[in-house]
């Protein structure tokens, strides 16, 4: 899973470390799931595939299938786009109404629907 960068992930060296693509070898699926993220964006450019070490480990963990569902988010403006995200079934999603231009644009433009896997 790209994007989660902290001391734990930086220090966890998997077997064969240094043999793969730079920036794509570190991760910890269990650690990520224990943090109960509201939203997981797995693939590059919003693709639904969970790649890299953390994503592969999460997908193999039975909690992931119990706790998350793939949804498609899409927006019409300012540009038309669509991307897949995994949304936690229980609890609030972390996007909240606010006064920033980014928050207003996001809440106005994004619509989600569940994708059947």
Structure confidence by residue, pLDDT tens digits, 46-105: 667 787 888 889 999 999 999 998 888 777 777 777 778 888 888 766 555 555 555 555
What is the H or E stretch that residue 10 is in? helix 7-11
Cis geometry, peptide bond prior to residue 68 (ω within 30 degrees of 0):
no
What is the H or E stretch that residue 71 is in? strand 68-75
Count CB atoms within 10 A of the CB of residue 58: 26
């Amino acid at each position: 899973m790209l994007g989660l960068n902290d001391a734990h992930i930086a220090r966890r060296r998997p077997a064969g470390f240094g043999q793969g693509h730079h920036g794509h070898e570190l991760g910890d699926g269990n650690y990520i799931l224990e943090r109960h993220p509201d939203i997981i964006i797995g693939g590059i450019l919003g693709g639904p595939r969970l790649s890299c070490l953390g994503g592969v480990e999460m997908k193999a963990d039975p909690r992931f299938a119990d706790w998350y569902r793939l949804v498609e988010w899409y927006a019409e403006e300012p540009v038309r786009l669509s991307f897949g995200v995994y949304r936690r079934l229980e609890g609030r999603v972390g996007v909240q109404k606010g006064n920033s231009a980014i928050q207003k644009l996001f809440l106005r433009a994004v619509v989600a629907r569940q994708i059947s896997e």
